[in-house]
Amino acid sequence: MKLKNIFNKIAVVIISLVFLTLSVTPSNALAGPNKHSKRWYKRPPPGSHRVTHGNIHYVVHKGRFYKPGRGGYIYTRPSRGVVVVGLPLAATFLVVAGLTYYIFDNIYYRKVPAGYQVVETPQTATARTKPTAIENSVRPGAQAVVVAKSLNVRTGPGLNYEVQSRVYSGDLLIVKTSAVKWVYVRLPNNSYGWVMTRFISITDTGAKG
């Protein structure tokens, strides 16, 4: 009889632990992403935001677009004209015929007052054209604009150097000298530091004559 009571208590403990585990597991972890597409969510993932274009409603998560479908939110490509406030730091950019295009997830954007607008892929942006942030050698005196939401300013040209301050999207920088993938710039507050070239856009080469 005592042995039966012990087994009953063990069973109750096990059932309680299973229930507790299920109750604290995030719903998105249970629901998806779908194992086949790996880009499906039962409900919008944490940190996502909604974007509306015409009568189409998107959910944007880490720079990628989802729309309602198949009982949840399925990965999709946005329509031309969709505007997002910002792009992930991993976005690159490409200059075609004097126009700057920003690229993320193989989607092209142009900068507009409200943020970044989805546009058609430029005809000259072929598979052999590699998006880049900037040439390794930048002319001293060139003007550059920060294209990242927030950009670390370091004491030297490398990630191993200390972060001394930050600059933000739209800030104007003046190039003093350059290294591979880095430039030494004058900041808006007239101090100096190193920033990565992939997160700035040259707006004036500083060329004379």
pLDDT at 102: 85
What domains, with CATH codes, occur in the chain?
40-130 (no CATH), 143-204 (2.30.30.40)
| Separation CA 69–CA 166 (nearest Å) | 41
- Which residues of the chain are under the pLDDT cut of 70? 1-39, 98, 124-138, 205-209
pLDDT at 27: 40
DSSP E strand boundaries for 77-208: 83-84, 92-96, 99-104, 107-112, 115-119, 143-146, 150-154, 163-168, 172-179, 182-186, 192-196, 200-204
pLDDT at 49: 86
Q: Tens of pLDDT along 105-120?
A: 889 999 888 888 999 9
The C-alpha torsion from 132 through 138 and 143 to 144, rounded to 10°, is 30
Q: Say how many residues make up the chain.
A: 209
Q: Tens of pLDDT along 111-146?
A: 888 888 999 988 765 434 444 444 445 677 888 899
Q: Across the strands, what pairs with 65?
A: 60, 76
